[in-house]
Amino acid sequence: MRTILAGIYVFFFLLLGIPVLAVDWIIRKFNPKLSGYCQLRIVQWGFRCISFLSGVQLTVIGEENVPKDQAVLYIGNHRSIFDIVITYARCPGLTGYISKGSVDKVPVLGIIMRRLYCLFLDREDMKQGLKVILQAIEYIKQGISICVFPEGTRNKDTEHPESLLSFKEGTFKIAQKTNCPIIPMAMTGTADIFENHFPWIKRTKVTLVYGTPIIPSELDKDTQKHLGAYTQNIIQNMLLEQLEK
């Protein structure tokens, strides 16, 4: 039943998104920032509804670690499509996600994501990947946060929920070039909502932990060179701490 309700809701949300996009197009012509915030709140509301219908019982820890007055680079582990649903619903300000290129081709959704400053990455095209990083850097300078799951794909290791795939170091150029805070995020339980028993959605307890901000300029030079591995180790410890409880 949850699967059916969630599926119907997503269908109608995207369908009703068509006239909303038309209105937003007009607003964007006169006030792009207002347009961004309107889209942000609408999608956040939609994602909260999806979580509710899916039976997600969310516990959030460390939300006070997220700055409300500046752009940040969110870095999280990735095991489920619900990672985006859950984290985006809690972003205090304009935030773009770096996603795989195929998502851009989904009708209506691709347009909405682009208007929400999301960027689409072709993993086979290094030149295009560099352009995405440069655009993300520009967004940070404009005060727009960026969220990345630097494992590059969903981790499907069900036997070791604490495991992480190697983080892609190129992602961290976004923080190194702007010195914006890196907010580590550790999520547990998200794969149990859907992926671990596809195609059914089940009521699940999920924990989202925000770690202490990492400021690149405050780290020694060697750590700055391996910022991805450093951040990965922090998130690894956050996951272990939650799973041991």
Tens place of pLDDT for every residue, the chain, 245 residues? 788 888 887 887 777 777 777 777 788 888 888 888 888 898 999 999 999 999 999 999 999 999 999 999 999 999 999 999 999 999 999 999 998 876 667 666 777 788 889 998 877 777 888 899 999 999 999 999 999 999 988 999 888 888 999 999 999 999 999 999 999 999 999 999 999 999 899 999 999 999 999 999 999 999 999 999 999 999 999 999 998 87
| Residue 24: predicted pLDDT | 75
Radius of gyration of the chain (CA): 18
Say if residues 214 and 234 touch (Cβ distance below 8 Å): yes
Report the run of H or E that residue 84 belongs to, with start and end: helix 82-88
Domain that holds residue 100: 2-243
Strand, coil or helix: 58: strand
Cα separation, 113 vs 28, whole angstroms: 15
| Residue 102: predicted pLDDT | 67
| Residue 218: predicted pLDDT | 96
Cα separation, 145 vs 184, whole angstroms: 13
**CATH number assigned to the domain comprising residue 147:** 3.40.1130
Cα separation, 166 vs 189, whole angstroms: 20
Number of domains in the chain: 1
Query: For residue 73, with 0-12 CB atoms within 10 Å meaning exposed, 13-18 middle and 19 or more buried, which class applies?
Result: buried
| Residue 121: predicted pLDDT | 84
| Residue 103: predicted pLDDT | 67
